[in-house]
Amino acid sequence: MKSRPGGSKSLRETAEEEVAAQSRQHEIEGDVREYRRVFLIVMDSLGIGALPDAHTFGHLESGGDAGSHTLDHICQAAGPPTAPRLMSLGLGNVEGVECFPAAVIPEGAYGRMVEVSAGKDTTTGHWEMAGVPLDRAFPVFPDGFSDELLGAIAAEAGIYGWLGNEPASGTEIIERLGQESIDTGKPIVYTSADSVMQIAAHEKHFGRKRLRLLCRIARRHTKELGIARIISRPFVDAKAGAPETFKRTYNRRDFSLLPPKPTVLDALKKAGVPVVGVGKIGDIFAAQGLTRTVHTNGNANGMVRTHECVREQAAGLIFVNLVDFDMLYGHRRDPEGYKGCIEEFDEALGKLEIDRRDDDLFLITADHGNDPTNQQHTDHTREYVPILAFGTHVKGGHDLGTRATFADVGATVAHALNVPFGGAGTSFLKEISK
């Protein structure tokens, strides 16, 4: 039916539109509010306490990751962060959080989530969050990679060998082998407790584009092995007077495997709902299920780009990863720096909310832990993660308890945007809606 001249609508047209809108609304389980936008923000690595099976992860001879608690141990080592917005939303009210201040009456709904997948890495956490838990862990390479594999990659890429090929801290191995890499033209390859092959080379002497091409070649050669991510790690000379010789840049790229099943991102995209990935979300999902990718240079830039989405993105899911918590402070075992990073995020969150709309739902969570006080290793830690939900139509002070899986996030996102999704997880939208 066409509209009347001048754009005005008849009473019948208006009534039909209202009925259609009500019909769409009633499709949502429990007849709760439909949202136009969901902002899902991942504070990469902000764990809140060891999971019951944490002792089976990490250095097993030393008790594994048992006793890890990223947030509490930051508070104990460096003092509680000054983070009034996170406090008011209920982060300190979550079960198991002891050292972060609690709100008398939280403005948000709050809880914690269990990772059911057998892992503690970025890919596993984000995929489970998107409704696809993994039945088995990705393979890891504690002894490095085979000569046969590295030789095949080198032959296709036209390089003359490798340096490293060992589990290592990225900053340490680049500092140790960076000059030799420049002198010989050989890239540095290393891994960690995660399922990753990381390849580092100097941006100027080796070339950023050449490094990414090398990583794409490595991705093809490692597909059958099931390595979760090939990570391009460019570095540059550090500034004069800096304590280190080399510095990693924000021009990293992750070349991930595709998820084994459709994620909530795929369901949304198929339904015509925009899906925007901010930060390394596009890399984590190999761009699958996204309608737009926004690359960022750290947390501050990530929050600026997220704020732009708050002002400009009309509808859909805006999925944000903020990597500095993990990359700059968790792995480097810097609780003081991690504390400051939380404070910077909190301030940016407060500014961002000025432009939020009544039909927005905000979810804040994490993908794993990375306890900066853990001295056994410099890898991630197996922990619960927080879940905070807030918006105009969210019940403040509601305790979501302990969710059985990260996948409850994906189910809630689909529910809020009124899109059918058959993935894992249980929506908590009805629980938190006014």
26 labelled binding-site residue: no
pLDDT tens-digit map of 294-311: 999 999 999 999 999 999
The CATH class of 33-134+260-432 is alpha beta
Q: Rounded to an integer, what distance in angstroms lies between the CA atom of residue 416 and that of residue 37? A: 8
pLDDT tens-digit map of 15-63: 333 333 333 333 444 556 789 999 999 999 999 999 999 999 988 888 8
The pair of structure tokens assigned to 163 is 């340096």
Asked, colleague to colleague, whether 33-134+260-432 and 147-256 share their fold, the answer is: no
326 labelled binding-site residue: yes
The pLDDT value recorded for residue 31 is: 57
Among 235, 141, 218, CA closest to 180 = 235
The pair of structure tokens assigned to 313 is 């993105």
283 labelled binding-site residue: no
Q: Rounded to an integer, what distance in angstroms lies between the CA atom of residue 387 and that of residue 420? A: 22
135 labelled binding-site residue: no
380 labelled binding-site residue: yes
Q: At the topology level of CATH, where does 147-256 sit? A: Alpha-Beta Plaits (3.30.70)
pTM for this one? 0.87
Q: What is the mean pLDDT of residues 325-347?
A: 97
Q: Rounded to an integer, what distance in angstroms lies between the CA atom of residue 113 and that of residue 47? A: 10
* Residue 347: band (very low, low, confident or very high) from pLDDT cuts 50, 70, 90: very high
Domain ranges, ordered by start, for the chain? 33-134+260-432, 147-256
360 labelled binding-site residue: no
* Single-letter amino acid, residue 108: G
Q: Please state the length of the chain.
A: 434
